[in-house]
Chain A
């Protein structure tokens, strides 16, 4: 797919027939010969690194963002929102794995020679699909299949609940932001047997505390981490005085990143739900 797209683009820059032909041939060669698969990868989305490690591709990673703690001893190219283009180019990667299109927009794409792969899954299934894609791109299909099977098995540990609990997931306390429909968290919650009461068609939504009281979820899950540093525990917030929900504190890094960890998170959440159901 990717080399083809590049071919088209080069054709558009008309007039330089020779160069286009030459490039086209090179790209075709790359496409057909396993020896020319991707070798140098820059990961701009930390949740991807553990996947690459599982695929045995740790050696290929030449650069990460500075908040990526899974990979040690490689060049840090800045933040995921503002990577340093000079550093990127100096590393001369052939593949860059970025988060959303917004985090790595077209103007930036123009300025690096590498191919870009957008890793932006919204559901657990989507994560599996992306893993397979990455596996194919890196010529590691078997390992990818293997990983997918393991993750699926992990999900099968989830046991069914007597009743589907309702959940609100607090992303940030002040102002109150909760996980919406497009968030990976909604998928994690439903995999764990729950139901995210917030159906707003966004990743995160700023909502009124009135609405939370009105919805009265069984579980009020709040994350603690970089997005929500040291929030006042909900049970101590005066406006939640009358809220009967069970308050669950979880670690943002385990939950809110759409990677391998998301499957463990689903299992963990399921255990919490189950524990509460037994009470």
Chain B
């Protein structure tokens, strides 16, 4: 199974670097073509892969924190509050600082949600989910309000929010890569604990897992991943939800399989959807990648839901 995933990633990567708005013969590039390939296409494909990996991983982590297969960066409010940060940056005309604002927004959201959800030092998943949804709604309302205030910039906000990898650069790639590595290192030794976290809290903690500390750590890592992804690529829905789901249906259920697989699966999925987004229209036009992830992802997910209801039934 792992091999299939890796093969999918490799195929997506090769397809993505060899196709695009401009036809490039990889083995015989002119100077312009080489510039296009190195300055535009390669950083973009890499960024798409990294954002996909980060979103899928953050989705998985949120699902562990919340004990809920529906949790992802949206339901926890982190995504929306990051977006709110980014929109504030757009409003103020501080375009170069969008990632910074997104990060600040995301972390503020994280603090707020975990603060609301902790009771006597313990985080309660259900309260957290509710707080997350409320925060999400609030942040969306704020974004709408800001859209309303800035009549002329409204389309720039809308388009930015739809997500995309146009502004990919090698330095963004490197920063995001570092963030993913960091969060992955944070949780790499916790695979067994993550599995035990899938039991009820009492069982988990009596087995020797410090449930609260683990939750806080996971939540932090996931929020970090989300905030950077949103800052670099806008809001891209569904990846954090469907990739882990598909993988679990494909029998990646233990954390030691699920986590690496979601990195690879998320990357492959995102590279492929971005490829579609930038090649489906003519004359170098582009679709926002969020449109593709939500439509393709949604349809495929629906298919799985119908086809494999039985397995899902035993989820809970």
A-B contact count (CB 8 A): 121
Q: Restricting to A203-221, which residues have a CB under 8 Å from any CB of B?
A: 205-211, 213-214, 216
A250 to B202, CA, bound (A): 64
Contacts of A123-137 to chain B: CB distance below 8 A: none
A70 CB-CB contact with B under 8 Å:
no
Q: Is B93's CB under 8 angstroms from A175's CB?
A: no
Residues of B within 8 A of A205 (CB): 283, 285
The CA-CA distance from A116 to B155 in the complex, in Å, is: 25
Residue among A79, A173, A177 making CB contact with B151, cutoff 8 Å: A79
Given A173-B95, A226-B150, A229-B153, are A216 and B32 also a contact pair (CB < 8 Å)?
yes
**A225 at the B interface (CB under 8 A):** yes
| Least CB distance, A44 to chain B, in whole angstroms | 12
B300 at the interface (CB under 8 A from A): no
> Once the chains are docked, how many angstroms separate the CA of A227 from the CA of B158?
11
Partner of A227, one of B98, B155, B283: B155
Which listed residue (B39, B150, B162, B167) contacts A242, Cβ 8 A?
A: B39
B288 touches A175 (CB 8 A): yes
List the one stretch of B5-13, B168-176, B185-193, B211-219 in contact with chain A.
B168-176
Min Cβ gap B205→A in Å is 46
B39 near A207 with CB under 8 A, answer no
Instruction: Tell me the bound Cα distance from A205 to B284 in angstroms.
Output: 9
B285 touches A239 (CB 8 A): no
- Prevailing SS type, chain A contact patch: loop
State whether A230 touches B93 (Cβ < 8 A). Answer: yes
**B278 interface contact, C-beta 8 A:** yes
Residue of B22, B95, B159, B166 near A213 (CB, 8 A) is B22
Task: Please determine whether A211 and B21 come into contact, CB atoms closer than 8 angstroms.
Answer: yes
Task: Assess the A206–B286 pair: CB atoms within 8 A.
Answer: yes
Q: Which of A67, A79, A213, A225 contacts B39 (CB under 8 A)?
A: A213
Q: Does B35 contact A (CB under 8 A)?
A: yes
A230 to B94, Cβ gap below 8 A? yes
Alpha-carbon separation in the docked complex, A200 to B41 (Å):
22
C-alpha gap A231/B156 in the complex (Å): 11
Contacts of B35 in A (CB 8 A): 213, 241-242
Contact partner of A175 (CB less than 8 A), chosen from B32, B92, B164, B170, is B164
Whether A175 lies near B166 (C-beta < 8 A) is yes
Which chain B residue shows the least CB distance to A80? Answer: B151
CA–CA, A172 and B95, complex, Å? 11
The verdict on A14 contacting chain B, using a C-beta distance below 8 Å, is no
* Most chain B beta-carbon contacts within 10 A, residue among A176, A240, A242: A242
- Say whether B36 faces chain A, with CB atoms less than 8 Å apart: yes
* Residues of B that sit less than 8 Å from A by CB: 20-22, 32, 35-36, 39-41, 43, 90, 92-96, 98, 148, 150-156, 159-160, 162, 164, 166-171, 278, 283-288
What are some 7 contacts across the A-B interface (CB < 8 A)? Answer: A175-B286, A210-B22, A211-B21, A213-B22, A213-B40, A229-B90, A232-B96
- The 3 A-B pairs with the shortest beta carbon distances in the complex, nearest first, are A211-B284, A226-B152, A229-B93
